Structure 1
Amino acid sequence: MKTIGQLMIIGLIFFMTASVTFAHTDLSKTNPEDGTELTASVSEIVLTYSGQIEEGSAFDVTNEQGEVIPVENFVVADGVLTGMLESPLENGAYTVNWNSISEDGHPLSGTFSFTVAVPEEVAPTEQEEVEETEAPVEQAAEESTEEAVVDATATETNGSPSFIWIIAGLVLVLVAGSLWMVVKRKNV
Structure 2
Amino acid sequence: MPVARTSHLHRLTTIGLAALFVIIGSLGVAGPAAAHDALVPEASDPVPGSTIEAMPAEITLAFSSELLTMGPADTIIEVLSPSGEAVSTGDAEVNGALVTQAIGEATEAGTYTVNWHVVSSDGHPTEGTYTFSVTTAAAPSAEQTDPPAATEEPAATEEPAATTTPVAAPDDEASAPDAWPWILLITAAIVVVAAVLPLVIRRGRDGRMNGPSGQS
TM-score by length of 1: 0.54
Superposed CA deviations along residues 66-93 of structure 1, whole A, max 9, x for unmatched, are 1111424421011111112235655332
Structure 1 runs of 4+ with >4 Å offset? 87-90
Q: Give the drift of 1:45.
A: 0.9
What are the ranges of 5 or more consecutive residues in structure 2 without an aligned counterpart? 1-12, 139-216
- Change in Cα spacing, 1:78 to 1:62, as seen in structure 2 (3 Å) is same
Higher RCO (C-alpha 8 Å, min separation 6): 1
1:37 aligns with 2:38: no
SS at match of 1:2: helix
Partner of 1:22: 34
> Which of 70, 74, 92 is equivalent to 2:92?
74
Partner of 1:160: none
Map 1:82-93 → 2, pairs under 5 A: 82-87=100-105, 90-93=108-111
One-letter code of the match for 1:85?
I
Q: Give the drift of 1:95.
A: 1.0
Instruction: Write the distance in 1 (CA, Å) between the matches of 2:65 and 2:114.
Output: 20
Partner of 2:145: none
> Which of 4, 10, 21 is equivalent to 2:16?
4
> Which of 59, 63, 69 is equivalent to 1:49?
63
Partner of 2:177: none
One-letter code of the match for 1:105?
G
- The answer to whether the Cα contact below 8 Å between 2:76 and 2:91 also exists between their aligned partners in 1 is no
One-letter code of the match for 1:67?
E
Instruction: Write the distance in 1 (CA, Å) between the matches of 2:64 and 2:91.
Output: 22
Map 1:173-184 → 2, pairs under 5 A: none
The share of aligned pairs that are identical, in percent, is 27
- The structure carrying a bigger strand percent of its residues is 1
One-letter code of the match for 1:104?
D
Superposed CA deviations along residues 14-72 of structure 1, whole A, max 9, x for unmatched, are 44345334322222223212221112441211111122223330211111111111424
RMSD value over aligned CA atoms?
A: 2.5
One-letter code of the match for 2:136?
V
- The answer to whether the Cα contact below 8 Å between 1:32 and 1:114 also exists between their aligned partners in 2 is yes
- The answer to whether the Cα contact below 8 Å between 2:49 and 2:132 also exists between their aligned partners in 1 is yes
TM-score by length of 2: 0.48
- Change in Cα spacing, 1:89 to 1:42, as seen in structure 2 (3 Å) is farther
- The structure carrying a bigger helix percent of its residues is 1
Rg larger in structure: 2
Partner of 1:146: none
> Which of 82, 94, 109 is equivalent to 1:64?
82
